[in-house]
Amino acid sequence: MKFKYIYLIIAAFIIGSAASCKKELTNVNTNPNAITSDKYDPNLLLTTVQLMYTGSTSFGGSAWATKWGGVGCFIQHTASTNPGFYYGDKYLNNIGAMGEMFQDSYTSEVQPVVELYLLTANKTQYRNLHQMARIMKAMVFEQITDLYGDIPYFHAGLGYYERLYTPSYDKQEVIYPDLLKEVSQAVDSLSESADKPSGDVLYSSAGDQIAEWKKFGNSLLLRMAMRLTKVDPTTAQSYVAKVVGKTFQNNGDNAIVQHQDGNQLTQNRDALEIFGNDSTDLKLSSAFISGMKINSDPRLPVVAWIYSQDNNGNSTGDSDPADQIGMPPGFIAGGNNPAINITKLDTFPKAGIPGYSRINDNILNTAAPTLILTYAETEFLLADAGKRWPSLNISPATHYKNGVLAAVTQLSVYGDGAAISDADAQAYYENVAYNDANGLNQINTQYWLCTLMDEYEAWSNWRRTGFPNLTPVNYPGNVTSGTIPRRLTYPPSQKITNLANYNAEIAQLTGGDKMTTHIWWDK
């Protein structure tokens, strides 16, 4: 752990210098402080990319404005009565906030991961580091394209090398095959006899670092392949068949960034942004709380509490499952319209707004880990594949059970206070045991429950499957006609720094640059 911490701190200096650039895609492509081989050990770039994947260091940036202000509320993990900051549960058109993730990602993730990819290419001393760069690069771009659809991909981040300052947008249907190809080839090219990258925050302490990266790459490949279930099931099945038996095997394989307190650049991004901007307005939603209560989910007292402070100002709270109350989406507190005034509800807590459940400090604190990709998610995806395509001979019941048990017990990574026993996990499974007639709903509802804190992934999987069956709201002034958003809109800065390519993209984008437009794999 000390070893990882040293690399995190050194990487923080790189992040700090990169963050000094303006958050524009043009500046990403012309960064005068570009990280080059004569300045830095490429291993540090791997550390940087892994850390930045957990969220931008920009205060008030995408980790708050896009992830929690928008997407977490879209997917009804959370809700708020503050429509100014938390626009997502009311489907309001906050284009600046929705575009923050686009800007932050190209500045803080794309630039260093492309740099890492190019610096290590065709260098035998960096054989494995280059394959890790390919996997991380694909994961970074997967997240961006999943949220926005068509994006600059093939020429993004190349301004320093090719003087390409305004990269064109690439179609998602062209991007995804390349992502699958890159990850597949990278996994196959990892070698036990080659370098063991020291800047690896995920697996450098593992007993077999390269074996873990192969499982990580195959698990990512599975996730990418399953995105195509609606639009290209043939390709999806072929990649699923390729990775069966080669993905994560238990919670010990989970890809985790363990954050460190004491340095803003290495702290947990979610906690840093929510506590730093507004920790009281964001609540867990009624859909999420009821989804746990209905089956006596043992995770409820770990992930939720009703927050208060004692007479000395110290944080305290009620985590009794029976007392948890989720906030319904689409309301404000007060106003002249009783239909959207939450205080008029019969279920309004006696304690008022503070009486609604919040994310528990067990999992939301500045030293809390970020779970990037987990065994539980992988098992649910395999269960989904087995249910859809019996010819693959994958048991949906077995993988579903594995996923449920792993999703409950993986919370131990947050510390002893969050640990749930195997016996309690097994008892919970009996409450939600697999029923093939309702298989896809069960599988993907459990996926939704276990991806709290990974809001982008929860939203992507919901758009792919339609589960769980969430009830949309019809808040006055919403821009989706009362439907849950399907994509994020591009940042306004693209109209200034990359206007010609932005206009070309919008001209052929069916439905336009709107929250209701379906991306390619979500047709």
CA distance 372 to 254: 8
Tokens standing for 392? 């693959």
CA distance 55 to 69: 14
Tokens standing for 134? 């390919």
Instruction: Say which range, 52-56, 164-168, 275-279, 437-441, has the weakest mean pLDDT.
Output: 275-279
* Domain assignment present for 242: yes
| 297 conformational bin, left if phi > 0, alpha if psi -120 to 50, beta if neither | beta
* pLDDT tens column, 187-245: 999 999 999 999 999 999 999 999 999 999 999 999 999 999 999 999 999 999 999 99
**pLDDT value, residue 34:** 52
247 and 389: one domain? yes
**Structure letter (DSSP) for residue 31:** -
Is pLDDT of 58 > 80? no
Is pLDDT of 522 > 90? yes
How confident is the model over 23-52, as a mean pLDDT?
Answer: 69
Q: Side chain identity at 98, as an amino acid letter?
A: M
**Structure letter (DSSP) for residue 126:** G
* pLDDT tens column, 338-384: 999 999 999 999 999 999 999 999 999 999 999 999 999 999 999 99
Is pLDDT of 31 > 70? no
* pLDDT tens column, 289-314: 999 999 999 999 999 999 876 666 67
**pLDDT value, residue 13:** 46
216 and 132: one domain? no
Element (H, E) at 185: helix 172-189
Three-state SS at 78: strand
How confident is the model over 120-124, as a mean pLDDT?
Answer: 96
* pLDDT tens column, 74-105: 999 999 999 988 999 999 999 999 999 999 99
CA-closest candidate to residue 188, choices 229, 239, 139: 239
Q: How confident is the model at residue 21 (pLDDT cuts 50, 70, 90)?
A: very low
69 and 189: one domain? yes
* pLDDT tens column, 138-185: 999 999 999 999 999 999 998 767 778 899 999 999 999 999 999 999
Q: Answer for the pair 148, 518: CB distance below 8 angstroms, yes or no.
A: no
For the chain, how big is the Rg over CA atoms in Å? 22
216 and 185: one domain? no
* Domain assignment present for 468: no
324 and 435: one domain? no
Is pLDDT of 3 > 90? no
- Give bridge partners of residue 327 from the DSSP assignment: 285
Tokens standing for 89? 């549960």
* Domain assignment present for 24: no
The H helix count followed by the E strand count for the chain is 22, 7
Is pLDDT of 115 > 50? yes
**pLDDT value, residue 265:** 85
Is pLDDT of 19 > 60? no
339 and 421: one domain? no
Percent of the chain clearing pLDDT 90 (strictly above):
83
387 and 491: one domain? no
CA distance 473 to 146: 23
**pLDDT value, residue 262:** 81
Tokens standing for 24? 């524009």
CA-closest candidate to residue 135, choices 66, 249, 213: 213
CA-closest candidate to residue 285, choices 117, 104, 24, 470: 470
Q: Answer for the pair 436, 388: CB distance below 8 angstroms, yes or no.
A: no
How confident is the model over 403-430, as a mean pLDDT?
Answer: 98
With both helix axes pointing from N to C terminus, report the angle between 233-243 and 209-226 in degrees, rounded to the nearest 10: 160
Task: Output the CA–CA distances (angstroms, integers) from residue 73 to 276, 288, 300, 518, in the order listed.
Answer: 19, 11, 19, 18
* Domain assignment present for 259: no
Looking at the structure of the chain, the number of domains it has is 3
CA distance 453 to 167: 32
Tokens standing for 154? 């093939």
Mark which of 336, 359, 382 sits at the end of a domain: 359
Domain span at residue 391 reads 211-253+374-453
* Domain assignment present for 467: no
**pLDDT value, residue 30:** 46
111 and 43: one domain? yes
